A and B are shown apart, each in its own frame.
Chain A
Amino acid sequence: MLVIRRRPGETLVIGENVEVEVLDATPSQVKLGIRAPKSVAVVRKEIHLTRDQNFASAREISHGALARLSDSLKNRPDSFKNLPR
């Protein structure tokens, strides 16, 4: 991983079109400003992971996995059989 030290007000450039400016920094948080073309998606990593995982979850509900899940649930304690309503 490339490591660069920057202070608030300083900027770095990624490729030809993307600029990242450090707007503010505290001991616990850094505030960044990003200038990028509309074609470049900028998104928090955890949102990106969740989006991809949601695509996989909506795609992957296989019969085999449901059968295995049903089998394994037979051995579960009864306290989880009913959802609160």
Chain B
Amino acid sequence: MATRVHSLIRMPVAHTRRFGAIEYDPSSVLTFPSGLPGFDGHSLFTVVEQPELAPVVFLQSVTAPELCFLAAPVAMIDAHYELALNREDLDRLDLDPARSPVPGVDVLLLALLCAPENGPLTANLLAPVVINLHNHRAVQAVRSDLRYSHQHPIPSTAEPVCS
């Protein structure tokens, strides 16, 4: 999403604590109409990719230099994840409430990761970020059931395996 379209077109610049000043394509900016829980005023994020972390990405606020999340495709964590969107979230995404959005076609699901220095990497599957691929509107869709954890552990395959 953060591709540079043309060298002659001057892209806007976001100042970030993690990446310094970065150019971003305004047409690829994700708009969270109501922010995220705890970050209510923060609506505009750009996706920053680093090849060595793909398909994990950073969601960097374009207005708050210090605000950045690490996010992974939900399908990478749970291939059978079942999305549940309430009416409010469907409206915020501008999706038709009469039909279920298809992941990968209509929407992209990302899980926000918590990556502490000491302690396991976890993903919030209770509240995935849902991006409407047609208009780049996004919500953090908080489920009201207890089916998925907000601290779903991600096993590290790099850990030594005892035989």
Q: Could you tell me which A residues sit within 8 Å of B by CB distance?
A: 44, 46-47, 49-58, 60-66, 68-76, 80-85
Contacts and interface: CB of A to CB of B under 8 A. Distances in A.
30 contacts: A44-B144, A46-B126, A46-B142, A50-B38, A50-B124, A51-B38, A54-B36, A54-B39, A54-B124, A54-B140, A57-B70, A57-B113, A57-B124, A58-B69, A60-B114, A61-B58, A61-B69, A61-B113, A65-B116, A65-B117, A68-B158, A69-B56, A69-B121, A73-B52, A73-B54, A80-B55, A83-B54, A83-B57, A83-B73, A83-B108
B55 A82 contact: yes
B38 A55 contact: yes
B150 A60 contact: no
B104 A84 contact: yes
Interface string B46-58: 0001001111111
B52 A70 contact: yes
Interface of B: 1, 18, 36-39, 49, 52-58, 67-70, 73, 75-76, 104, 108, 112-118, 121, 124, 126-127, 133, 140, 142-144, 150-151, 156-158
Is the contact region of chain B dominated by helix, strand, or loop, or is it mixed? Answer: loop
B112 A46 contact: no
Contact of B117 (A54, A62, A73): A62
